[in-house]
Amino acid sequence: KNLNYFDAVFFMTTGELPMDDEQKAALISFVKDEGKGFLGAHNATDTFYQWPEYGDMIGGYFDGHPWMTFKAPIKVDDPNFPIVKHLPPGFEIVDEIYQTKQFAPDKVRVLMSLDTSKVDMKRQGVKYNSVPITWVKNYGKGRVFYCGLGHPPEVWARPDIQKLWIEAVKWSMGLIPGDPTPNPSK
């Protein structure tokens, strides 16, 4: 098992990756049974549609980006959570914002979402009243982090987003606290 050398795995992937059933089972066991971390960025929810356990682990699947890339107003829903506590209550970022299908608010703790009071929610393709952007969850014994930001390279150059990812890696590995109890009202 090559995963024995790692404490967390990061996906920024699209499509049905070339992983066989044994490798898929090893990834699920790595997180769920061994208590390791899984982090997904942006298009990681646009991956493995034919593998329901992956969708359950990451928290849902890509379901369109009706606003395309735009200056997106983001609100921090859980400002005391260590991964996002350095961020202001709201900020703008030029990015491609995904909607998520099969999203279960009762299974995740939403850290950031699209500020829907500041965007056209009647735009063609908009399917949901809320658009979570970043969340954490337990998956078995493991910790899962997802952040939908990251389409344009400029997003990754922002110091505030770099810090978010550093803190997310630490959290996913259990190096810093942060209660992932779901907050379905967010």
> Tens digit of pLDDT for each residue in 135-151?
999 999 999 999 999 99
Is 75 contained in some domain? yes
How many folded domains does the chain comprise?
Answer: 1
Is 158 contained in some domain? yes
Q: Which two tokens stand for residue 42?
A: 């942006």
> 88-112 pLDDT, tens per residue?
999 999 999 999 999 999 999 999 9
Quote the domain boundaries for residue 90. 38-172
Largest CA distance in the chain: 48
Is 23 contained in some domain? no
pTM for the structure as a whole: 0.96
Looking up residue 69, the CATH number of its domain turns out to be: 3.40.50.880
> 72-94 pLDDT, tens per residue?
999 999 999 999 999 999 999 99
Q: Measuring CA to CA, how many Å separate 151 from each of 13, 134, 143, 154?
A: 12, 14, 23, 9
Is 58 contained in some domain? yes
Where do runs of H (alpha helix) occur along the chain?
A: 21-32, 52-58, 153-157, 159-172
